[in-house]
Amino acid sequence: MSRTTAIPSDAALHAAEPRHELQRQAIQFLADLPALPFSHDDITAGSESELQAAVCGRSEDVDLPRTIHASNYVKNIRERTAAGDSPRILIRQLQELLTSSEATVWENSWVRFPRRCLNRAATQLLDRDLAADKRAPQGPRRADVDRYLLVEQGEEWVRLPISYLLTLTLAEVLGEFEEHVPTLASESRRLLDHFLNDNSSPETFSFYVSRMEPSGGMGTGIARETAIRFLLTHLLVLYANRRFGLEERGQCVVVYASPHPPMRQRRLNHLVSDAFYRELFMNPCLSGWERGEEKSRYMGLCHEVLSRSQLNAVLRLKDAGIITRNLVVLPSTSNISLANNGTHLSLGSRRLSEVLRAGTKRYTPAHEKVVGDLVIKIVEHFLPLFVGTYSAAPYRMNFQDFHPELALGFLPHELDFTHLRMLWRRWKKKAKLSVFGRAITPVGPMWLDRALSALFHLRGDYVPDFRLIDYLVSLLSTDQSPALDGLLGNDFRLRRDLGQLGVFDERMSLYLCYKLRAQSVMGFSGFEGRHYSLFSNHLEDFADAASLQALVTALAFRYVATGQVTHEDIPDDPFTESERRQCMFASAIGVATVNVREAGPNRFLARIVGRTQKTRSSRRYAGHLRVRIEDYRLALLSTIEDDAPELIEAFQLRDHLMRLRQRLLEPDRCGTAGKLTRGIVEVAGVDRPMRLSGEEFAQAAESYYRGPLRAQYVREALTCVEEDLRAIDQAESETDRRCRGIATALVGPRSSAEALTETAPELLSGSAGSQALLRSLGLCLLAISRSQALNSHRDEQSWAS
């Protein structure tokens, strides 16, 4: 969950000076700097990882089915069914979902175990977090405390979401270390605040700020930190299973990376009310916020708003002429898109952050805003380079899924009607939804759609990154309130407009793919990339993605500082905004072409299209050029190579761009979408996704993410930790000599790297015992402490020089 704080409603909503004057002043300030922001020695990085949690076990042992069975909601449904007021099929489908012999994996379930299993440190943390206001721990408890404390088998038990189980387990581990390794326990206590939650899923954010350094690979540092953070999460889960007796009670917890809402949760969402869905799956926010109940209510607000927004999207599709008949499949009143998971990567400029902290009048928050919005508009043109190339969310859609009101997700709120119609037409053509040359979409009744699919071999489609379609990633501006015009308060004005239109709520943070992180709000000046879905690994995919994000951001600042691109070059009207963003959504769907205006006002887009091969005038859309996405992405790469040779050299990214070209030219073999899809179909025992139905592909994907991909993440992270431990064993620096003393307290005089290597097979299989897990957790925490110390030392050296 983003830790953004929105601009308050009483903030100034208009700049004190006209935009062109602010822009001129900002350009002059940037030009006078000895080195531009986001140059090779200026960038810091941090990331947020949204993860998927599941509890494996029988329905009679696992909390989620037990809670549903015991709920008044189900009891009332049964009573209404017996009275004939509710269809029998509803309770029958719910019963089948909960009691099926195949139902052994329960995503986003909670766990329950005796409170006596907690040690003193964990008990103290739980008591503090159950306070209504953590700043007053002796004050009243949360009003919903009965959800977390219950009596079972004659003693007090705790009932907790997995996101909070991770925090509590870390406190348990630190409590065990307090006596024998107090230094490590003390240094690691700050990590408790880094385990949070998304709306449903566990979420972690960086344990320390990583320096981006050309010598080690610009994105390697943040990729290693993210990988090791995943390993620590994995080890905490294994330890919780053992320490709290979860496995022996039939509740085996697993945490992994998965971009889509789970199939079981989707089905359950259609069988229960929106309010009951929120009770089951919206996170109570026990950790990370001083007043958790208030944050939990905000989570509920997000769900209510997006559920309403999806219903309003149906009306927009009708207005756009995409829905042409009155027979539609209404989306559920409960929207599940918040169960999508991704990674957010934030980059900061140390130079800009320092200038803004100093309070100089030459570069103020107003200048930060006018430059930041322009940088975002520039970077948005380059986002198709990332989609499917570095991250992906492969998805298989059946023919019966192609109701536009379901398939197009939130796109009616993200694209202009013209681009929406163009995209929908191309998508139907890609999916071969035609009979005798006439386009066809599902009619409505499931039995009829299945019959049509079988009779005319209408098989649906495969989508490289469905998360970007299924989730609200970037809201379209209104004519009166542009999102990125460079003026302070523009996000509030847009949120207010969208709230009046029933699309959004002004109390929520504005959704954008690339988002300004203002120094006055976040404590640093930079940008957050929110377009990443799932990586096939960290040290290649994520590292290269982070490097490219840094390079593109640096290039955007160069354009701004030299006056090559101004706000006037990229107008702020909704159509122009939609025109540049359609390329990203087309890449996510896998559509081959888009159409852009021949003489459009977006001069920066025109420059890129001018470099694009094989463009031609559109025969269908007068005044438009037909642009192939494949060639557009290669033109983006050529733009970087032609306009940023010095940056490429300074960032040492020449080999990186060669790998990027290979990913673009051979996406099935080298791109992340291709790599993830290969893993999924191998699990299913077929050679391509179209040999599977949508349900079969989704089931195979969940098995792949939960099994082979999770193991790949763990192996990769273990290698990173082992490298750090080998440096500690050699003890050549002062930091490593200090760490070697802690390692000796954990494993004795032997090599700490070898100790972890010997345990690695058990950590991968999940068979390690409590003591082996505790030792491995200690070594992992030691590697994190060392990396933080080294990053802090480099920062001090850099500023001193």
**DSSP string for 649-677:** HHHT-HHHHHHHHHHHHSHHHHSHHHHHH
Q: Give the other-Cβ count within 10 Å of 613's Cβ.
A: 12
Residue among 292, 249, 353, 267 nearest 128 (CA): 292
Has residue 766 got a pLDDT over 70? yes
What pTM value is reported for the model?
Answer: 0.95
Has residue 431 got a pLDDT over 90? yes
pLDDT of 199 reads 82
Spell out a b/e string for 55-72, using b for 16 or more CB atoms within 10 Å of the CB, else e.
Answer: bbbebebbbbbbbbeeee
For residue 746, name the pLDDT band (cuts at 50, 70, 90).
very high
Q: What DSSP assignment string belongs to 66-101?
A: HHHHHSHHHHHHHHHHHTTSS-HHHHHHHHHHHH-T
pLDDT of 14 reads 43
Q: Give the other-Cβ count within 10 Å of 559's Cβ.
A: 18
Residue with token string 């899809």: 677
pLDDT of 9 reads 37
CA distances from 17 to 14, 204, 357, 537 (A): 9, 40, 21, 47
What sign does the dihedral 211-213-218-224 (CA atoms) show? negative
Q: Strand, coil or helix: what is 246?
A: coil
pLDDT tens-digit series, residues 484-522: 999 999 999 999 999 999 999 999 999 999 999 999 999
The arithmetic mean of pLDDT across residues 443-462, rounded, is 90
The arithmetic mean of pLDDT across residues 443-469, rounded, is 92
C-alpha–C-alpha distance, residues 414 and 513, integer Å: 11
Has residue 800 got a pLDDT over 70? no
pLDDT of 791 reads 87
Has residue 374 got a pLDDT over 80? yes
The distance of Cα 289 from the centroid of its chain, to the nearest Å, equals 20
For residue 252, name the pLDDT band (cuts at 50, 70, 90).
very high
Percent of the chain with pLDDT over 70: 97
Percent of the chain with pLDDT over 90: 89
Residue pair 405/425 in contact (Cβ under 8 Å)? The answer is: no
Query: Counting beta carbons within 10 angstroms of the beta carbon of residue 86, is it exposed (0 to 12), middle (13 to 18) or buried (19 or more)?
Result: middle
Has residue 10 got a pLDDT over 70? no
Determine the length of the chain: 801
The arithmetic mean of pLDDT across residues 46-58, rounded, is 97
pLDDT of 1 reads 43
pLDDT tens-digit series, residues 709-727: 999 999 999 999 999 999 9
Residue among 129, 569, 543, 547 nearest 373 (CA): 569
Residue among 59, 86, 58 nearest 74 (CA): 86
pLDDT of 198 reads 73
E strand or H helix at 753: helix 752-765
The arithmetic mean of pLDDT across residues 61-72, rounded, is 96
pLDDT tens-digit series, residues 143-184: 999 999 999 999 999 999 999 999 999 999 999 999 889 999
C-alpha–C-alpha distance, residues 212 and 44, integer Å: 6
C-alpha–C-alpha distance, residues 477 and 512, integer Å: 11
Residue among 328, 307, 326, 501 nearest 404 (CA): 328
For residue 3, name the pLDDT band (cuts at 50, 70, 90).
very low
More confident residue, 504 or 332: 504
Has residue 136 got a pLDDT over 60? yes
Amino acid sitting at position 794: R
Encoded tokens for 685: 């025992």
pLDDT of 152 reads 93
Residue with token string 């087309």: 586
The arithmetic mean of pLDDT across residues 734-738, rounded, is 93
β-pair type (434-435, 105-107): unpaired
Amino acid sitting at position 779: L
β-pair type (210-211, 43-50): antiparallel
Encoded tokens for 358: 């100093």
pLDDT tens-digit series, residues 412-423: 999 999 999 999
Domains of the chain, CATH where assigned: 19-50+340-398+460-692 (3.30.590), 52-57+104-256+702-800 (no CATH)
The arithmetic mean of pLDDT across residues 428-446, rounded, is 90
The contacts of residue 495 (CB under 8 Å, 6+ apart) are 6, 504, 505, 506, 508, 510
Encoded tokens for 575: 């159509």
pLDDT of 636 reads 98
C-alpha–C-alpha distance, residues 55 and 251, integer Å: 6
pLDDT tens-digit series, residues 576-605: 999 999 999 999 999 999 999 999 999 999
Has residue 17 got a pLDDT over 90? no
pLDDT tens-digit series, residues 655-697: 999 999 999 999 999 999 999 999 999 999 999 999 999 999 9
Residue pair 195/202 in contact (Cβ under 8 Å)? The answer is: yes
CA distances from 370 to 348, 529, 623 (A): 17, 18, 32
Alpha-carbon Rg for the chain in angstroms: 26
Encoded tokens for 692: 């599977």
pLDDT of 795 reads 58
Residue pair 575/595 in contact (Cβ under 8 Å)? The answer is: no
Has residue 442 got a pLDDT over 60? yes
Backbone phi and psi for residue 632, each to the nearest 5 degrees, phi listed first: -65, -40
